[in-house]
Amino acid sequence: MKKLENKTVFITGGISGIGKACAIAAAKEGANVAIADLKSATNSLAMEDVIKYNPKAIFIECDVSVFAQVQETIQRVVGVFGTLDIALNNAGIGGESNLGKVGFPNSSNYVAAKHGIIGLTQTAALEYAQEGIRINAICPGFIETPLLTNAGIAENTDIQKYIINLHPLKRLGKSGEVANGFIFLASDESSFITGTTVDIDGGYLSQ
Ligand SMILES: NC(=O)c1ccc[n+]([C@@H]2O[C@H](COP(=O)([O-])OP(=O)(O)OC[C@H]3O[C@@H](n4cnc5c(N)ncnc54)[C@H](O)[C@@H]3O)[C@@H](O)[C@H]2O)c1
């Protein structure tokens, strides 16, 4: 039995990196996947990778920083699939990070936003527990994704070594490793877990 059979999974920023890996993992587990992301030339290629595992997967162009677009997108997801069972808030500052728990030099905006998400997660978990809705956050360490490549980390071996050495496991994480945690939190296997964080960070936060 697949873990997310017939569930509707909504993922923001699901065209690239961690979001895409979670979309593929959810489709493999039998979910109807709806991806909301910005318009990009690579959208159709990324969607093909998800559709391979569940042909019902859909893409909706949406800028999550525009509230009206998010509302319309969610209405469309429910219109197409009839329900919305699992939402992954991953795009932009919506996604959580290990930097939601510690500081990082020269990144005050990012770190402040990520710290805020933990408070939002805990508060929303309390507000929605009565309705049986569980809300958790995943805190990844540095993960090999286009976000890191675009930040110039892939080309700069000194920065790459520095970042790798921040992780006791002495490597960057893979987006599939974050997706494994997402599937656990999205499935009934985590049925008594809410309002908490799951660190997928190669030991970064244990130091
Ligand atoms: N890569 C890492 O090392 C790392 C570590 C910890 C946390 N995170 C967090 O995980 C999340 C995903 O990161 P990633 O590395 O997979 O990034 P990525 O750049 O590979 O993918 C992000 C996706 O989000 C989309 N997106 C960005 N702004 C959007 C908007 N306003 N509306 C809709 N879609 C939008 C992009 O188009 C892209 O497809 C982010 O919140 C990031 O801060 C990443």
Ligand 1 touching residue 63 (CB < 6 A)? yes
Q: Cα–Cα distance between 152 and 97 in angstroms, integer? A: 19
Which of 171, 182, 178 is closest to 204 using CA atoms?
Answer: 171
Pairing mode, if any, of strands 197-200 and 137-140? parallel
Ligand 1 touching residue 148 (CB < 6 A)? yes
What tokens appear for 150 in the block? Answer: 């675009």
For CA atoms 1, 28, 148, 171, the dihedral sign is positive
User: How far away, in angstroms, is 149 Cα from ligand 1 center?
Assistant: 12
pTM: 0.98
Q: Which atom of ligand 1 is nearest to the CA of 110?
A: 43
Q: Structural domain boundaries of the chain?
A: 1-90
Q: What is the mean pLDDT of residues 152-162?
A: 88
Q: Which homologous superfamily does the CATH classification assign to the domain defined by 1-90? A: NAD(P)-binding Rossmann-like Domain (3.40.50.720)
Q: What per-residue confidence (pLDDT) applies to 41?
A: 87
pLDDT, tens only, 19-58: 999 999 999 999 999 999 999 988 999 999 999 999 999 9
Supply the residue whose CA is at minimum distance from atom 41 of ligand 1: 95
Ligand 1 touching residue 113 (CB < 6 A)? no
Indicate if 110 belongs to the active site.
Answer: yes
CA angle, residues 68, 100, 92, in degrees to nearest 5:
30
SS3 181: helix
CB 106 within 8 A of CB 27: no
Q: What percent of the chain lies above the pLDDT cut of 70?
A: 100
In the chain, the amino acid numbered 184 is F
User: How far away, in angstroms, is 1 Cα from ligand 1 center?
Assistant: 31
Residue located via tokens 């994480």:
173
